[in-house]
Amino acid sequence: MEPLKPVMVAPLFSEIHKELLSLLKSLSVEDWQKPTVCSGWSVKDVALHILGVEIGNLSGRRDGFTTHASMASWDELVAFINHWNESWVITARRISSRLLMDLLDITGNQMCDYFKELNPFSIGGQVNWVGPEPAPVWLDLAREYTERWHHQQHLRDAVDKPGLKQAQYLTPVLETFIRALPRTYLTTNAEENSSVTVSIWGESAGCWTILRENRAWNLYQGAPDNPTAEVSMDQDIAWRLFTRGIDPDRAIKKLIFKGDKSLGLKVLDMVSIIAS
């Protein structure tokens, strides 16, 4: 096993942004109204949410505009984000599909340019589902990349278009999502040197392990010879499970467990987005 390496995604933002605009321009009038896995949101609603993400990032990160909110706990943070996102989408529904694409073109390109200017190894804000400590900018950007990638996948699923599942796009998503694993096991006690290995197969295959050391769980690339528990899954199940795109009760039927299953089952609780 070895320490994880940074996930460098800045050049990928412009690529998936172009793919998003190409997808939206191909949609029919009916496609815009099709439901998505995001409860209560249509294809247009998810696209409006992506626009809101870009506007929020440009306003807050680039321009220094802040809003004040009390978020002392994880539950308060989730409630705030859910309300913030829902209120934006409801208000923005008055925007036409054509204007929406124009606005996404403007804000998306500005966001891509801004991300390229940042020093990836400076310290930025928190990535809440990883932990409370300030994160390096590269991890913050990787989180932002996963946000755009998985919402675009929601759109592609809804209109039955191929997803961006090529290794160059999906691998950094999984390498970022897996960093929620130590937080998932934060309150799980186990004997010293206990280990849980998560193996993902597919074009973006990977293997990661959390190891119990000094009463903490530390994440590594690779696996020990005999992990205490091992959980294996397909890459498509993995990203959906970690973003609450599939119910854990359904996902469990598609996972393979070895070793201490009771310890491995905790993987089903992993959430790599701000959600409960």
Look at residue 276 in the predicted model and tell me its pLDDT: 63
What type of residue sits at position 245?
Answer: G
Contact 201, 183 (CB under 8 A): no
Position 192, amino acid: E
Select 12-164's CATH number: 3.40.50.300, 1.20.120.450, 2.40.100.10, 3.40.50.10860: 1.20.120.450
pLDDT at 76: 86
Round to whole Å and give the CA distance between 40 and 108: 25
Query: How far does CA 77 lie from the centroid of its chain?
Result: 16
User: Other CB atoms closer than 10 Å to residue 83's CB: what's the count?
Assistant: 11
* CA-atom Rg of the chain in angstroms: 19
Question: Tell me, which fold does domain 180-269 have in CATH?
Answer: Nonspecific Lipid-transfer Protein; Chain A (3.30.1050)
Enumerate the domain spans of the chain.
12-164, 180-269
Q: Tell me the helices (H) and strands (E) count for the chain, helix number first.
A: 11, 7
One pLDDT digit (tens) per residue for the chain, 276 residues: 999 999 999 999 999 999 999 999 999 999 999 999 999 999 999 999 999 999 999 999 999 998 766 667 878 888 888 888 999 999 999 999 999 999 999 999 999 999 999 999 999 989 999 999 999 999 999 999 999 999 999 999 999 999 999 999 999 999 999 999 999 999 999 999 999 999 999 999 999 999 999 999 999 999 999 999 999 999 999 999 999 999 999 999 999 999 999 999 999 999 999 876
Give the model's pLDDT for residue 147.
96
Closest-CA residue to 32 (of 93, 85, 84, 88)? 93
